[in-house]
Structure 1
Amino acid sequence: MAKHFRNAWLFTKNIYLSSEKAVIGQVLLRTDDTYEQAKLRLLFDYLFFYILLLFPILLLAMISQNEVNLILIPCLAGVLLGCLYLLKRGVPAGIIGMTASFGTLLISASSSFFNHQDLSPRYAIAWAMSILLAYITVNLRTSLILCGLLCVYLSGVAYIRINDISIYVSSGYSDSFQYLSNPITVILYMLFLIRALGQYYRNIISMEQQRTHEKQKQHLSLINQNLTKQFLLVKGFSRSGKSAFIKGEMELLEACFTEIEKQCGAAIGYLNEAQED
Structure 2
Amino acid sequence: MIAPRRFLPSVSSLLALEAVDRLGTATAAADELALTHSAVSRQLKALQEQIGVTLVKREGNGLILTSAGIEYAASIRDYLQYLARASLRIRAAGERSSLNLAVLPAFGTHWLLPRLSQFSEENPDTIINFGTRLAPFDFTREPFDAAIHFGAADWPGANHLELASESMIPACSPTLIPVGPVEPSELLSLPLLHLESRPGAWEDWFAGHGCSAGHLRGMLFDQFAQMAEAAALGFGVALLPRFIAEAEFRSGRLRPAAAEFTSVDGAYYIVWPQICTPSRPLDKLLRWLQVAR
**TM-score, normalising length: structure 2:** 0.19
* Bigger strand fraction: 2
- Larger-Rg structure: 1
**TM-score, normalising length: structure 1:** 0.20
